[in-house]
Chains A and B, each alone.
Chain A
Amino acid sequence: MTELPDLPVLAASAEPDECQLVQALRRGEEPAFAQLVRLHGRQLLATARRLLNNEEDARDCLQEVFLIAFRAIEKFEAKCRLTTWLHRIIVNTALMKLRSRRSRPECSIDDLVPRFTEDGHHLEPPCPWSDHATRSLQAAESHRLLRRAIEQLPESYREVVLLRDIEGLSTEATGQFLAITANAVKIRLHRARQALRTLLDRHLEDLT
C-alpha cells in the first residue's frame, strides 16, 4: 500500500470508547472486528460507491479496506480518529482500483477545453443551454449524464474531480492523495470542469 497522506487531524485525540475498540482489535478479539465493520462500514461504503460508481467494485473495495485496517491496526496512532484513518485508506484503495480498471476510451483534454483565436476570442462561441437542457441537468437523470461525462475524462483529471467535487476533499488533501501540489490540483480541476462543461454540452444537445 502506498504511504497515506498526512491529512489534517479531525479531532485532537481518539474517544475513550475508540481506544477500547482499538485495544480489543489489537488483542484479536472477534467481536471487535465485527464492531469496527458495523460502526464505520456504512460511511466507507458510501465513499466507495461515490468514487467507484459500481456496486461490485465498491463492495470489493470495502472488504479490502477492512482487511488492510485489521492488519495495520498496530500502526494506528490515536492522534487521529479511526474515521479519518479509515477514510484515508478507502480513498487510496479506491484510487488504486480506479487506476487498475481496464482502460476505457478517454477523450483528450485538449479537445475538450475551449479554444481561442490568436487575438484571444472564442474560436467556437458557446451556445446557451436551453430550458430543457437545464431541467435535465437538475433532474435525476443528470447523475447518469454527469457520471458518463466524468468517466470520459483522462484519468488524472477524473481523479481530481472525484476527490474535490464528489468527495469534497480540500485542495491540499487532494494534492496529498495524488502526490501533486495544491496549484496543480487547482489547474487540473479547472481544466477538468471546462472539459466536463463541453461534454455536458454535447450530451445535453443529444437530448434536445
Chain B
Amino acid sequence: MSGGYMSMGEAHRRILEYLNRFSDAVSSQDGKSLSRLLSISSDSHHLLSLADALNTFQDANRLIRQSDEYSQYADILLPVFRAFQSYRLRNLVESYQAFEKAANAFIQEFRNWESAWALEALYVLTFEIRILAERADRELASNGKTPEKLKGAGSLLMKVFSTLAGKGPKRVGALHVTCQLFKIYFKLGTVHLCRSVIRSIETARIFDFEEFPVRDKVTYMYYTGRLEVYNENFPAADQKLSYALTHCDLRKEANLRMILKYLIPVKLSIGILPKALLLENYNLNEYSNIVLALKRGDLRLLRHALLEHEDRFLRSGVYLVLEKLELQVYQRLLKKIHIIQKQKDPSKAHQIKLEIIVKAMKWLEIDMDVDEVECIMSILIYKNLVKGYFAHKSKVVVLSKQDPFPKLNGKPISS
C-alpha cells in the first residue's frame, strides 16, 4: 500500500478528484489526460492511490450517481473503479472483467463522439485490455482454469476495429487496433484470424495505408511480414519486413532486432547474406554460424547451428526456413568442388563425379551413400540451383559451361 492508512476524507477527496479529472478531460476533449486516467497497468502513483482510496471509501458508486456530471459516464466509471480496486488487490481476472465492461461502455460513448479526439484514450484502452487479459490468463492458468480472457479481448478489439473501420476521422486508428489484434492472435496462436483484418485493411478503399501513423505501419508490416514467413512467401516477406526495418525508429533497438530476426532468414533464403557487423550489433549471433555455413558450403556447420538453436528457431517460426538453406549449402559445396577441379584440370572441370561429392560429404562427417547424393544433385538441378544434368550411367554431374551455379539474387528458390 503506497499510502498506508488513508482517512475517509482523504479517500473521498481523491475519488472526487479523479472524477473531476475524468469529466474535465471528456468535456474539454483532452485525449491525453483521459488516456492517463485509464492506463491501469501503468502503476502510476495517482491511480494506485485512487485504488487505495476506493478500497477505503467503499461507496464511490454513490458519488458517481449523485452528480449528473459523473452519472452520465457511470457505465464507464463504475466498472473502471471496480477494475482499479481488483487490480490493486491483485485480482486480475476480476479486474479484467470489470475493465472489459468499462471498455465496452467507452466504445459506445466513443461512437457518439464526432471527432477522433479520444483516439489516444482508445489506444490506451485497447492496450490495457490486452495486457490485463494476458495477466488474467496467467492467473487463470495458475489456478488450473482455462485461460480465455485473451480470447475475449480479441473479440472485444475486433469490435473496436469495426467501430473505427469506417469513413471519417477515426479510421486512422484502425491500424493501431489491428496491431493490437495481431499481438493477441500471435500470442494465442490463432494467426489465421489475422486474415480478415488484413483483408479489410488492404482492400478497403477508405484506408490509404500511408495515412496511418508510422509506428502502426511498422508494426503492421512486421506482423504481416511474419505471416508471410509462415507461408514461405519470401519476396512478400522481404518487402514487408524491409519496409518495417526502414521505417522503424532507429532508437528502438529491440524493435529493430525483432524485425531482423525474421528479415535475416528471409534474406538468406533468397541468397542475400548479412554482414557480420549487423549480426553483432543487434545481438543476432544465432545466425552467424548459419551465415558462415552458407559461405563455406559447410553442411555440418549448418546442421550444427540449427540443432544448437533449435528451440529458439522453432519458437520464432524460422526453423523451417533455415532448414531449407541446406540446398544452398550443397550448391556452395558443389561450386567449391568445381573450382578446385578447374584449378586441377580445366578441361574436365564441368564433370563432377558423384564419388567425389560423396567423399566430400564423408569429410564433413555426413553419412550419405551414392543414391542419396544423386538424389540431392537431382534436386539441385531440378530447383535450378545447378545448371546441367546428371548422367546416371556414369554417375557424373555434368555442369553447364555457362553460369553453372546461378545466383538467387533476391529470387526465391524455384520449387
Q: Do A and B come from one complex?
A: no
Q: Which residues of B contact A (CB under 8 A)?
A: none
- Which residues of A line the B interface, CB within 8 A? none
